[in-house]
A = this chain, B = another copy of it.
């Protein structure tokens, strides 16, 4: 685990029904960084995240992850995939209580929910303003509540790598603030990385160490936060930042 990179992605691609929606020649995610992925709707951002979580496999290329290389079509062993988790764009909760949803990752890992664990989990729920919803059925939550439950469920088992697909899309400014604080603190705990998709450029600016622009399935530019916003290499990036159409 002394590698410089959490991910090193080479030449991966993904095709659905004859349509190649992702084609990444090279992308590496450094240890300890928050990496933001931006790009227009349909660019392939969520697809890339699914491949990074090994929920789907790429059609070509390979992914080096936490020190081991996985060829297209192959999947790491459970021990390794359990080190990474995604908070999906569209939160998918089980039709049971909020509490049961949040402790699910611990239960499937055979963890005992001791009193101190209960305390810890309740603290996380409290931080996210969810404590009073502890026993509510998850299919009755508001949009933003569901999104926060999904985040709580992801961080409760302290995965090494956290992939976030627009985790604040359905939230108000105050809640966005809370979640950004949680994300910033979390990167100090995990000795690895956070990859986050966001359409909120201000959010990327507040949180990211580096930013990549994905467009039509290809990486247009990867840059440090400052340069991405101040000195982008590519015209496409400039257009994207200014809200001009780049489809």
Contact = CB atoms under 8 A, between A and B. Distances in A.
Interface of A: 16, 38-42, 45-46, 89-90, 129, 140, 142-145, 147-148, 165-166, 169-178, 199, 201, 240-241, 243-247
Contacts of A169: 166, 169-170
Please state the number of chain copies in the assembly. Answer: 2
A142 to B, nearest CB: 5
Given A90-B90, A129-B247, A247-B129, A42 B173 contact: no
A145 B45 CA distance: 13
Contacts of A40: 144, 172, 174-175
Contacts of A245: 174, 178
Nearest to A246: B174
Given A41-B142, A140-B16, A175-B40, A89 B170 contact: yes
Nearest to A140: B16
